[in-house]
Amino acid sequence: MQRAPTKHWTNAVSLIWNLTASIVVLPLSQLVIRRLASLSINLLVLTALALVAYTDAALPAVTVNADFVTTFFVAGKLVLAGHCQDLYPPVGSTTFAGTAFDKAAHSVLHNLSSGAVAEYMYPPAVAVICAAFAKFSPVQALVLFQILSVAALYICAYLVVERRSKAAHLSGVSILFLPVAVTIWIGQVGIVLGLLPLAAGYCLLERSRPYLSGLAWSLLIFKPQLLLVAAMVAAAYALAGRPKCLLALLAGTVLWLGVNICCTSPSLFFNWLDCLKTSDIVYADPRQGIPAHLVVSLPRLVLLAAPASLHQLLRPVFYALAATVAGATVWCLSRLIKSDVNSQGSLVIAGSSASRMKREGPGGQGDVLSFCVTVALLVLPLVSPYLFVYDLCVMVLAGWLIFCRTWSSPTRLLRHAVVAVWTFVNIYYALIMLHSSWVSPAAVVALFAFLYVLAVLECVSLTVANRRAALGVPVVGTDGANF
């Protein structure tokens, strides 16, 4: 009988402690975990940038072999010297080794590896632009372009994400995606000439400015393998009865091709087109020393694996199959777009148009545009005839669209797909740096093929759900909720 008060006091103390833990301790611990995670990410980003800076400053033999130096810096030097005719190999060439450009690179870059073969396969206008960088030393030019790439990455995040105050943080986190880090490190143009036009076109199309969006996407002619993403999305909107973006894309492409002719000469422009044929031959022949472990294009991998005697037979077959896959993707996306237009012109995915219009206003594109761009990015390795693993830096756009924007009815499949791509590609790139013989690019392409099939099935499911919703039939989402 005398121990009862003690028991009551014990229960009261336990209750107070539990309340204090739930109100103070638990939130504080979660806050600490978030702060530690943010600090760790920031440290990793700074470490990556510090490694890039260290390479630029202390390892000139490595820096001079960077893609920007051996390709774009040398091209700029030739433009400044008035030797534009040396940019591309002679018509009908089957190799880049020993060409005038290759010899110029070894003459300009004294530390360039003797076995390295330098080539330039971009439009003439890009070489004219690179002449501004050629006025500096190779290391200085590379550093300037790396700074430009980081700035372009920030602009891309600023254009795409909803909370623009987080753009700097998100662009920094994106550097932890190894294709982005490597693109900055070696001075590839995937961010400046690929990701930036894609993000700008998305931003403009989402704000119902299809003509400006198409013009922005037409800049991808300077990075042709990524032009397929914009072309598929614009074509899908055209098939759905919205051709303005595609018309502007075509007009802009013709405009930029005309600029290439005017800034140099028509003969040089046609030499560039012939150079693309040469690259198609060279990058299908493993005897040319092609880094096959970096190739993530399904048509290209098939050609690399097949005997050279069969290339003439297989090339049109697999290019036609790639075009068929791209066309089927366009058709599926166009059905989704067409099924999802309500009377006010606002686009949603099997969700309430009221919440979407409240956030974006009438005519906003919303979820469907993000879905279409993500699917077009997933199918890219299956249809592009020329794609390296560092070109996958554009996949950060899919990550921003899925995780950094508010969806009226989020799809778990795309979230899982983006996480799988980021994780697997990072592991693949890390293994390449350790030992390239440990990996096979077919595994990357197989992952994209699997995720693409799932995304198409999701597209069909959403199209059916939208049509049922338009008829007034209750739709049950993947999470079991009624839309």
Spell out the residues 6+ positions from residue 182 whose beta carbon is closer than 8 angstroms to its own: 188, 390, 393, 429
Identify the pLDDT of residue 64: 83
Q: Tell me the per-residue pLDDT of 339-398, one tens digit each, with 9 for 90 and over.
A: 865 433 334 444 433 333 333 332 335 688 999 999 999 999 999 988 999 999 999 999
Its domain, for residue 459, covers 161-470
- Alpha helices, DSSP H only, in 264-310? 266-282, 298-305
* Separation of CA 124 from chain center: 23
N-to-C CA span, the chain: 60
For the CA atoms of 298, 301, 303, 307, the dihedral, rounded to the nearest 10 degrees, stands at -140
pLDDT higher than 80, residue 319 = yes
Q: Are 351 and 411 in contact (CB under 8 A)?
A: no
Task: Label residue 321 by pLDDT band (50, 70, 90).
Answer: very high
Is 175 within a domain?
yes
- Which residue intervals of 59-96 are DSSP H helices? 60-63, 67, 74-80
The pLDDT value given to residue 483:
31
What pLDDT score does 309 carry?
Answer: 81
Is residue 157 scored above 90 in pLDDT? Answer: yes
Q: Does residue 400 form part of some domain? A: yes
Residue 294 confidence class, pLDDT cut points 50, 70, 90:
confident
**In this predicted structure, what is the pLDDT of residue 304?**
86
Dihedral class, residue 363 (left if φ above 0, else alpha if ψ from -120 to 50, else beta)? left
Summarised one tens digit per residue, pLDDT across range 238-257 is 999 999 999 999 999 999 99
- What pLDDT, in 10s, does the model give residues 40-82? 677 777 777 788 887 877 777 778 888 999 999 999 999 999 9
Contact 248, 230 (CB under 8 A): no
| pLDDT of 37 | 65
- pLDDT score recorded for residue 263: 82
> Which amino acid is located at 308 in the chain?
A
Asked, for residue 222, whether it belongs to a domain, the answer is: yes
| Any domain includes 189 | yes
Residue 295 phi/psi, 5-degree rounding, is -80, 125
Instruction: Give burial (CB, 10 Å; 0-12/13-18/19+) of 44.
Output: middle
Residues 6 or more apart in contact with residue 426 via CB below 8 angstroms: 176, 177, 178
Instruction: Tell me the longest C-alpha to C-alpha distance in the chain.
Output: 106
Decide: 145 and 135 in contact? Cβ < 8 Å: no
The conformation of residue 267, written as its DSSP 8-state character, comes to H
pLDDT number for residue 11: 57
What is the DSSP annotation of 312-355?
A: HHHHHHHHHHHHHHHHHHHHHHHHHHHHTB-TT--B-SSS-HHH
Short-list 229, 218, 180, CA closest to 374: 229
Position 361 in a domain: yes
> For position 347, what pLDDT does the model report?
40
Per the CB < 8 A criterion, the answer to whether 185 and 52 are in contact is yes
Token digits of residue 221: 């002619």
264, part of any domain: yes
pLDDT band, residue 36 (cuts 50/70/90): low
User: pTM to 2 decimals?
Assistant: 0.85
Three-class DSSP category at 388: strand
pLDDT digits (tens, 9 = 90+) for 429-483: 889 888 877 888 999 999 999 999 999 998 888 888 877 776 665 555 444 333 3
Total domains in the fold of the chain: 1
Sign of CA dihedral 189, 192, 196, 201: negative
Q: Which of 274, 253, 271 is nearest to 84 (CA)?
A: 271
Q: What is the pLDDT of residue 445?
A: 93
Q: Looking at the domain assignment, is residue 272 inside a domain?
A: yes
Least confident range from 80-84, 145-149, 407-411, 449-453: namely 407-411
Between 186 and 287, the more confident residue is 186
Asked if the structure places residue 169 within a domain, the reply is yes
DSSP per-residue letters across 404-428: SS--SS--HHHHHHHHHHHHHHHHH
- Give the percent of the chain with pLDDT over 90: 44
**Cβ atoms < 10 Å from Cβ of 154:** 15
Give Cβ neighbours of residue 391 (< 8 Å, ≥ 6 apart).
Answer: 179, 188, 190, 194, 225, 226, 296
Do 219 and 197 form a contact (C-beta atoms < 8 A)? yes
What's the CA gap between 290 and 449, in Å, rounded?
Answer: 23
What are the tens digits of pLDDT across the range 197-242?
999 999 999 988 999 999 999 999 999 889 999 999 999 999 999 9
What are phi and psi for residue 478, nearest 5 degrees?
Answer: -65, -20
- Does the structure show a pLDDT above 80 at 102? yes
- Which of 147, 442, 91, 102 has its CA nearest to residue 267? 91
The closest of 119, 122, 63, 142 to 289, measured between CA atoms, is 119
Contacts of 223 (CB under 8 A, 6+ apart): 189, 190, 193, 194, 197
- Burial (Cβ within 10 Å: 0-12, 13-18, ≥19) of residue 404: middle
Q: What is the DSSP string of 225-243?
A: HHHHHHHHHHHHHHHTT--
Q: Rounded CA gap, 338 and 238, in Å?
A: 10
pLDDT for the residue numbered 346: 37
